[in-house]
Chain A
């Protein structure tokens, strides 16, 4: 298939992997930010082609994984209300809250609908004027423009029974948090290509300068990722710390100005808690004051306060790249995709779920506890 096959070509993959092996003279640790990239790396086995001196750590870029548990609880609570039609992307439905997930809310009688676009939720609201339609707006800068468009459309068409339960997050503040944290191991970043397709690459230049770290904007196919790693390794070997764009077929320097303008109109930057990580300043989007009428938390009350929980889940360490999924004591035992203890085991983009699904007992898997690649 065009634009797929050429990026999954075994021969080309081998050539890039050989280049990486030749150029990497020292051990390096590189983090891919985006859960989509984590999934692709583990699914296609990209990491198994890399030299052992190279360590890939999987970043917090899975929107499902980092949505705070109190927002899942709020979603479940709203979804149980008889007047509500609760709309969500599919992979949020299985994320466990403290008491239930949205699939259980549906089984308990809640009107929970899986939609493929927030615009579908606006249509459902227009068709059901006597019901309250709530869309669960999660994700990074990639999902934010469509969610913003849904609010703008609802406002323009006077669809007042539509609202967003918003848990939008932003990538650069999370990278800043990872780089500033004590014990940081990350020496280079693969930035999320689709986030940059919206936001452009400008936000990453101060990060690269301040932390002297190479950042390569990278796509999602196996060859994209290998090429991103190759560019990153070359910068590390040459002592450079620049923002490079591997994903030029999708990412322009300025991003998508129309989408950015829409974000600035509908949303404002706010502090946000990340599941497994904690609060990061200026790392989220909430509805701007003039669109506050579309805020589900104003309509149905704010999300409950976060509570400390006793748990064996080491999501915080895994999302920061300190632990490998299989180094967690619960991995594959107490914690499985059927009964996840933490968010990274829930979404197909979560690092733990990706390892559990594709790598659980493949022979190449390194011994327990070893610091291993990928």
Chain B
């Protein structure tokens, strides 16, 4: 060994902008945020779009309506606990529910790949029908296209939905207030890990099933009880942390949550430990956060827990009075505070 080593910093020049779209631009992290901010929102700028809620809420005549759309590209299309069909219905139903709307009518566009087994298609369509019945919505219009083999992952689905609001509350991040309690409707990380476990190339065995479920049945009793719900957000792509960061930024308030208070099932935690994932950033399809005045938190929890879908509901934190606007802080299990930040892209499994 030499007495001393010549240390020469050899770091690369930056790659200033990506000239092509990366998969990570759709991952729900910082890159996606940048894509939306720089290209998508400016292209269509209008006040309804810029409210950046899960649904656009507006009035047509005497009726308040919520309107939303979402594309589904999950691979594989059938996964433990669900499939792309149920997901496409519940996802849109949930986006309407997060605006406080009763979901009414859905459209569906199917993009099918040449070679898709009819049996798979049949199963997915049956699942869509079942999900629509469960959610009490009707699928009233749609479109079907077939693309060449190799141009799609079997099946992509886009759904749009219309819901009605029979109350005058505005449920949006801008309504969040200092002192609000942050409630979570149950354990997190199941959908993302269920899909990971059956994704090609990842060979760990698990019994984790997606939490895919319609949420308006949980939301409506909160509204019916007259609770002053300030904001609702489902914790889909990017998980609980990403949803809370979006709300903190839109509300320009600081949120504080406790890691110990966030329920994570043991098998989900184990799978996350193996892959180096943080369950707070893993996708859910049947979980949401609810912001409302702290004085109403216990009543809201009792209502949520009365429904099997909300049996694991809990209070995970508060909106700070003061602090840094737009910041999400987490008290770690050992009692230290740290930032929860938007991920750059998708979580990538670590080397070791």
Contacts and interface: CB of A to CB of B under 8 A. Distances in A.
Contacts of A306: 10
B12 A97 contact: yes
Contact-size category for A: 35 or more
Contacts of A93: 348
A214 interface: no
Contacts of A238: none
B335 A10 contact: yes
A293 interface: no
B9 A313 contact: yes
Interface in B1-37: 1-16, 18-24, 30-31, 34
A309 B7 contact: no
Given A89-B350, A181-B7, A316-B9, A8 B333 contact: yes
B45 interface: no
A90 B348 contact: yes
A281 B3 CA distance: 11
A347 B339 CA distance: 18
A370 to B, nearest CB: 19
Nearest to A358: B338
Given A43-B338, A342-B11, A358-B338, A280 B344 contact: no
Contacts of B3: 180
A63 B352 contact: yes
A96 to B, nearest CB: 5
B334 interface: yes
A288 interface: no
B269 interface: yes
B7 A1 contact: no
A44 to B, nearest CB: 5
A18 interface: no
A336 to B, nearest CB: 8
Contacts of B1: 173, 176-177, 180, 281-282
A282 B31 CA distance: 39
Contact-size category for B: 35 or more
A362 B9 contact: no
B351 interface: yes
A9 B332 CA distance: 10
B202 interface: yes
Contacts of B21: 107
Given A90-B348, A120-B201, A278-B5, A360 B14 contact: no
Contact of A100 (B15, B329, B348): B15
A308 B14 contact: no
Contact of A357 (B7, B335, B339): B339
A94 B348 CA distance: 9
A276 B10 contact: yes
Given A45-B332, A277-B7, A360-B339, A96 B352 contact: no
B34 A338 contact: yes
B272 to A, nearest CB: 10
B145 to A, nearest CB: 25
Interface in A285-299: none
B337 interface: yes
B344 A337 contact: yes
Nearest to A16: B334
Contacts of B336: 44-46, 48-49
A309 B345 contact: no
Given A1-B269, A44-B332, A138 B23 contact: no
> For B22, B324, B327, B333, which residue has the most chain A Cβ atoms within 10 angstroms?
B333
A164 B7 CA distance: 27
> For B9, B31, B334, which residue has the most chain A Cβ atoms within 10 angstroms?
B334
A42 B332 CA distance: 10
B115 interface: no
A165 B16 CA distance: 27
Interface in A85-141: 89-94, 96-101, 103-104, 106-108, 113-116, 120, 138-140
Contacts of B11: 69, 275-276, 309, 311, 313, 315-316, 341-343
A114 B18 contact: no
Interface string A316-347: 11001000000000000011011111110001
A13 B5 contact: no
B130 interface: no
B221 interface: no
Given A1-B269, A94-B345, A311-B9, A362 B338 contact: yes
> For B8, B12, B338, B344, which residue has the most chain A Cβ atoms within 10 angstroms?
B12
A348 B7 contact: no
A10 B334 contact: yes
B16 A339 contact: yes
A105 to B, nearest CB: 10
B14 A339 contact: yes
Interface string A345-374: 001110000001111111110000000000
Given A176-B1, A278-B10, 10 more contacts: A180-B2, A181-B7, A194-B352, A273-B10, A337-B344, A339-B14, A358-B341, A359-B338, A362-B337, A363-B337
Interface of B: 1-16, 18-24, 30-31, 34, 201-203, 266, 269-270, 273, 275-276, 324, 327, 329, 332-339, 341, 344-345, 348-352
Interface of A: 1, 4, 8-10, 13-14, 36, 42-46, 48-49, 63-64, 68-69, 72, 89-94, 96-101, 103-104, 106-108, 113-116, 120, 138-140, 142-143, 173, 176-177, 180-182, 194, 222-223, 273, 275-282, 306, 308-309, 311, 313-317, 320, 334-335, 337-343, 347-349, 356-364
17 contacts: A1-B269, A14-B335, A89-B350, A94-B345, A107-B22, A114-B201, A276-B10, A306-B10, A308-B10, A309-B11, A311-B12, A313-B9, A316-B7, A337-B30, A341-B14, A358-B339, A361-B327
The 4 closest A-B pairs by CB, nearest first: A45-B336, A90-B348, A316-B9, A313-B11
